[in-house]
Structure 1
């Protein structure tokens, strides 16, 4: 598959970078998407609402405040059959989307979240 696997976590960049992958209970959402599946977080960076820390695809790492990310997640991540890959929000493949709404709701608006986007090619 050509595309991206996205993981959004409450862990810090340093915690996510540890060998072994971090704390599964800290993950807010994961999904796989096609080639344009990273556009939404890049757009947040262009607007000054997120910051990119690595960009080699293994993974691309970003941070943003929960106040920027949680409203996007609250809207849901449409599967790839329901949305154009060049839309304004995140897109996923049908069946690969996992969203933990209870964890998303528990985030404070000023909490810094880590977004990892892994190259799937």
Structure 2
């Protein structure tokens, strides 16, 4: 089973695509999400159906991003622009995590 995971800035903004996206990849369930949740470093803001939504601080989330993630193609960003956004993200920024089941 595969999951589309997206990490984004400004979780209160409805459009999480495009300019708010920091990372997006398709892979197994990101177990680090469960680890951060258990450690109290994430809150789950939606679990009733997909997508599952979480919130946490950039200082906790960004170091957990996989180094070898396959980026979904999009007109709004390239891997280079996403890395620039990650590098510029303040450690105290609240980020959102969106996880979709890709059966």
Please classify the TM superposition score into its range, dividing by the shorter chain length.
0.7 to 0.9
TM-score relative to the length of structure 2: 0.79
> Where do residues 1-121 of structure 1 align in structure 2 (5 Å cutoff)?
2-12=1-11, 14-16=12-14, 21-34=15-28, 37-73=29-65, 76=67, 78=68, 92=69, 96-97=70-71, 99=79, 100-121=82-103
State the Cα distance separating 1:28 from its structure 2 match: 0.3
What TM-score do you get using the length of structure 1 for normalisation? 0.69
Q: Provide structure 2 residue ranges, at least 5 long, that are not aligned to the other structure.
A: 73-78
Gaps of 5+ in 1: 79-91
**How many residues get paired?**
95
After the TM superposition, list the runs of 4 or more consecutive aligned residues in structure 1 that deviate by more than 3 angstroms.
Answer: none
Q: Distance in 2 between matches of 1:72 and 1:32?
A: 15
Shift of 1:23: 4.4
Could you give the per-residue CA deviations for residues 21-79 of structure 1, whole angstroms, max 9, x where no partner exists? 44401100000012xx2321111000111111111342100001000112223x61x3x
